[in-house]
Amino acid sequence: DAGVIQSPRHEVTEMGQEVTLRCKPISGHDYLFWYRQTMMRGLELLIYFNNNVPIDDSGMPEDRFSAKMPNASFSTLKIQPSEPRDSAVYFCASSTSGGATQYFGPGTRLLVL
Amino acid sequence: AQSVSQHNHHVILSEAASLELGCNYSYGGTVNLFWYVQYPGQHLQLLLKYFSGDPLVKGIKGFEAEFIKSKFSFNLRKPSVQWSDTAEYFCAVNENDYKLSFGAGTTVTVRA
């Protein structure tokens, strides 16, 4: 299996622009998670899905952030408009319904200027 | 909400030295426990996990961890580290759902 796939790996954008991060979970995994990693706050869970349905979005920082999972093999995390404080590494992870081990993707390193 | 505490922010040691990283959590019920490792510039990889059974868990690359329920601890150990163990180590806990709470991480630097 290819593991969790994320794109792009790096993104540099200017403040105010829309940013879309993409994730393909491991085939057969029913849970998908979006995390943000910063030096100041460490790893934070933003939102997670089960069977394509958002279950808990309490970690989403504000309305500028939105996430979708239109099908079992694809999810997006969108920031609109982006701000410099959104600069971070965004990880996607997936897991099966029968276990709690989460498998992480390589991350997207976002820099908002 | 779950709270996960990692005792050391940065640990520096020489090759062949022994390593122990502390992790404590706040939840008193049934938990699943994990240690993840993040090598420089890479994503998180699972080192080991504890769900139930033998509280001494062995993982990859010679790492092991011991779950001590009475102390709410899940400390990570390696008897003899290598330069390639330089990485950031994260303890994580979940409480019967699929939300992982991560500790702040411990950066381990191994000097050759």
pLDDT in tens, A45-104: 999 999 999 998 999 988 999 999 999 999 999 999 999 999 999 999 999 875 578 999
Give the pLDDT band (50/70/90) at residue B96: low
Helix %, strand %, coil % of chain A (to 5): 5, 55, 40
What integer pLDDT is reported at residue B30 of this predicted model? 80
pLDDT at site A99: 58
Comparing alpha-carbon positions, the chain B residue that sits nearest to A96 is B98
Report the Cα A91 to chain-centroid distance in Å: 5
- Residue keyed to tokens 């019967």: B96
Q: Which chain B positions have a beta carbon within 8 Å of A56's beta carbon?
A: 99
Which candidate from A56, A101, A106 shows the least CB-CB separation from B43?
A: A106
Verify whether the Cβ–Cβ distance A50 to B98 is below 8 Å. yes
Quote the mean pLDDT of chain B: 91
- In the prediction, which pLDDT does B36 show? 96
| Cα-only R_g, chain A | 13
- Looking at the complex, does the CB of residue B89 fall below 8 Å from at least one CB of chain A? no
Is A106 within 8 Å of B45 when comparing Cβ atoms? no
CA distance B27 to A31: 23
Task: Convert the pLDDT of each residue in A17-44 to its tens digit.
Answer: 999 999 999 999 999 999 999 988 889 9
Does B98 contact A42 at a Cβ distance shorter than 8 Å? no
Q: How distant is the Cα of A81 from the closest Cα of chain B, in angstroms? A: 26
Contact at CB, A50 and B94, closer than 8 angstroms: no
B90 touching A, CB under 8 A?
yes
Select the residue of A42, A91, A100 nearest B98 (Cβ to Cβ): A100
Cβ contact B14:B25 at 8 Å: no
Determine, for residues B43 and A105 on separate chains, whether the beta-carbon distance falls below 8 Å: yes
**Burial code of B16-26, b = ≥16 C-beta within 10 A, e = fewer?**
eeebebebbbe
Taking CB atoms and an 8 Å cutoff, what residues of chain B touch A38? none
β-strand partners of A108: A90
Coil/strand/helix, residue B3 = coil
